[in-house]
Amino acid sequence: MTVDIFLGVLGWSAVINFGLLTWWFLWILFAHDFVYRIHSKWFKISAEKFDAIHYAGIAFYKVTIIVFNVVPYLALQIIT
């Protein structure tokens, strides 16, 4: 595998992952009540706990994207 292919994989992976992260955020922002209603049928959870879980999940996912996609992409860009 060449460095160019690896850069392409990391770059597109970051774009796709940030797209999913944005989609998740927009669902929670604009359809919060709908999403909460669905999840509260499956799990007995308060609205505050629901918000905390999604906030933590979004933060974890964002950090994971940065650590595993963006940082290696930038490091490879620097050395090539």
Instruction: Give the predicted TM-score (pTM) of the model.
Output: 0.90
pLDDT value of position 11: 97
CA 59 to chain centre: 8
Q: Is 1's pLDDT higher than 80?
A: no
| Parent domain of 44 | 3-79
Number of domains in the chain: 1
Measured CA to CA in angstroms, residue 35 lies from 7, 50, 62, 72, 73 at distances of: 36, 10, 20, 34, 34
Rounded Cα–Cα distance for residues 66 and 64 (Å): 5
pLDDT tens by residue, 29-45: 999 999 999 999 999 99
Percent with pLDDT over 90 in the chain: 98
Predicted confidence band of residue 13 (pLDDT cuts 50, 70, 90):
very high
